Amino acid sequence: MRASWYDQFCDSPDVLRSDRLERTVVAIRVSGGNLEIGGEDFITMAGPCSVETEFQLMATAIHVRRAGARILRGGAFKPRSSPYAFQGHGLEGLRMLARAREETGLAIVTEVMSENDVPLVADYADILQIGSRNMENYALLEAAARSGRPILLKRGMMATIADFLRSAQIVLDCGNRNVMLCERGIRTFDTSLRNTFDAGAIALLKQITHLPVIADPSHAAGHRELVPALARIGVAAGADGLIVEVHPNPDEAWSDGEQSLNFAGFDATMHELMPWVALRNIGRIAETEMMEAVR
């Protein structure tokens, strides 16, 4: 790794890649075996922005599972821009997620917003999501880390890579090495998309850290038409997986309907991604061979 990167990110020494350190592979126990993120398989997490109804969640879970997703997303505690918008079903939402896991065998990723909620959410979730708005909430990061659950850490909308890595370092400092870094777009001067998808950040994170990197094309784009293209870019940039919003009827969604794919859209996105994922796998083999050659 370039020496100047060690200096630039010296606040987060334990997240940086080194020749002595294997890449981190996050293992999640699911019915029928282990799921690995950051390993050979490309992993897709999919589901609604918010858990709304039993029907909405179950229909989505069954569908995304058939289409190849391995992890179900869905917010039970929702950070919303307006205090008057739907804030999530809380515990009832977590129960619905657990029932969907039982039914489909998908693992569950869901957001935790407050340190007080960590024990409850950790009881139900396989992966705790720390949202963009909370990336620098160190008390929450510490509580989430100490739960022992893997953490999906979303990049803050105004966070530099150094800020992002410092937050990951906090989790590692608490003895939890199972951190996944999620690029979900950042705020820039351009408002034509909801956010600006920082594909370069994905490439850089894969170069400088040993942690799995997940791309979120939904929150980056803000418009469902652009989700397939940003998903492809995420794969091409080297992401280990995707997190995508899917809803049975996006126009009726209680949150983030504009950027949610319907079932047919998700099927098409997954299908279109197949050659890109295959290329990624060839690239990974080539990279391993190259690393061995230069050793």
Q: 16 vs 45, which CB is nearer to ligand PEP?
A: 45
Q: Is the dihedral of CA 161, 163, 169, 170 positive or negative?
A: negative
Long-range contacts of 5-14 (CB under 8 A, 24+ apart): 5/207, 5/208, 8/162, 9/161, 9/162, 9/165, 9/208, 11/162, 11/165, 11/166, 11/169, 12/162, 12/165, 12/166, 12/168, 12/169, 13/169, 14/169, 14/172, 14/173
Q: 63 vs 184, which CB is nearer to ligand PEP?
A: 184
**CB of 2 vs ligand PEP, minimal distance in Å:** 29
**Interface with ligand PEP (CB under 6 A), residue from 16, 35, 45, 49:** 49
The answer to whether the beta carbons of residues 103 and 62 sit under 8 Å apart is yes
Q: How many residues bind ligand PEP (CB under 6 A)?
A: 9
**CB of 41 vs Mn ion, minimal distance in Å:** 25
The residue at minimum Cβ distance from ligand PEP is 131
**Interface with ligand PEP (CB under 6 A), residue from 38, 47, 75, 248:** 75
Euclidean distance between CA atoms 71 and 287, whole angstroms: 27
**Interface with ligand PEP (CB under 6 A), residue from 12, 56, 104, 132:** 132
Q: 129 vs 209, which CB is nearer to Mn ion?
A: 129
Of 22-30, 125-133, 141-149, 261-269, the window that binds ligand PEP (rule: CB under 6 A) is 125-133
**Interface with ligand PEP (CB under 6 A), residue from 131, 241, 250, 265:** 131
Instruction: Enumerate binding residues for Mn ion (CB under 5 A).
Output: 49, 256
Q: 68 vs 257, which CB is nearer to ligand PEP?
A: 257
Euclidean distance between CA atoms 66 and 265, whole angstroms: 14
Residue 287 phi, psi (nearest 5): -65, -45
**222 touching ligand PEP, by CB under 6 A:** no
Q: 57 vs 208, which CB is nearer to Mn ion?
A: 57
Residue 154 binding: pick among Mn ion, ligand PEP, none (C-beta 5-8 Å cut-off by kind): ligand PEP
**219 touching ligand PEP, by CB under 6 A:** yes
CA angle, 260 as apex, 50 and 262 as ends, to 5°?
110
Of 221, 209, 213, which is closest to residue 269 (Cα–Cα)?
A: 221
Euclidean distance between CA atoms 223 and 227, whole angstroms: 7
What residues make contact with ligand PEP under the rule CB under 6 A?
49, 75, 79, 131-133, 154, 184, 219
